[in-house]
Amino acid sequence: MNNSMSKQKRRYTTVKNVILTAILIIAVIACLYIERTYGKSFWFDISKKVKLNSNVIEERDKFYSHFINVGQADCTLLKCNDDVVLIDAGDVDSAFTICQYLDSFGVKEIDYLILTHMHADHIGSAVDILKKYEVKNVILSRLTEGNVPASYLYDELLDELNKCEAKILAANAGDTYSLDSFSFTVLAPCREYAELNNTSVVIKAVYGNLSFLYMGDAEEKSEKDIIKSGADLSADVLKLGHHGSNTSSSNEFLDAVAPQLAVASCGEYNDYGHPSPETQYKLKARNIDLYRTDTCGNIVVVCGKDSFSVVTERCFQ
Per-position pLDDT tens, the chain of length 317: 455 545 554 555 555 565 656 666 665 565 555 445 444 433 333 333 434 444 577 898 999 999 999 999 999 999 999 999 999 999 999 999 999 999 999 999 999 999 999 999 999 999 999 999 999 999 999 888 788 888 899 999 999 999 999 999 999 999 999 999 999 999 999 999 999 999 999 999 999 999 999 999 999 999 999 999 999 999 999 999 999 999 999 999 999 999 999 999 999 999 999 999 999 999 999 999 999 999 999 999 999 999 999 999 986 55
Go through 261-296 and write b for each residue having 16 or more CB atoms within 10 A of its CB, e for each that does not: bbbbbbbeeeeeebbbeebbebbeeeebebbbbbbb
Q: If one looks up domain 57-312 in CATH, what number appears?
A: 3.60.15.10
Distance of CA 44 to the CA centre of its chain: 15
Q: Count Cβ neighbours within 10 Å for each residue of 78-116 and write b for 16 or more, e otherwise.
A: bbbeebbbbbbbbbbebbbbbbebbeebebeebbbbbbb
| Count of C-beta atoms within a 10 Å radius of residue 161 | 17
Backbone φ, ψ for residue 253 (5° rounding): -70, -45
| DSSP H or E stretch at residue 205 | strand 202-207
Q: Are 308 and 302 in contact (CB under 8 A)?
A: yes
Sheet holding 289-292, edge to edge: 176-178, 183-188, 202-207, 210-214, 237-239, 261-264, 289-292
| Domain assignments of the chain as residue spans, ordered by start | 57-312
Q: What is the mean pLDDT of the chain?
A: 88
State the Cα–Cα distance between residues 88 and 73, nearest whole angstrom. 9
Q: What local confidence, expressed as pLDDT, does residue 43 receive?
A: 35
Q: Which residues are within 8 A (CB) of 238 and not within 5 positions of it... i.e. 6 or more apart?
A: 212, 213, 215, 254, 257, 259, 261, 262, 263, 288
* Per-residue confidence (pLDDT) for residue 314, from 0 to 100: 86
Give the residue ranges of DSSP H helices in 237-296: 251-257, 277-285, 293-296
Do 288 and 254 form a contact (C-beta atoms < 8 A)? Answer: yes
Tell me, what's the pLDDT at 113? 99
Q: Is the pTM of this model over 0.95?
A: no
Q: Residues 112-133: pLDDT tens digits?
A: 999 999 999 999 999 999 999 9
| CA neighbor of 288 nearest in space, from 235, 211, 231 | 235
Amino acid at 305: K
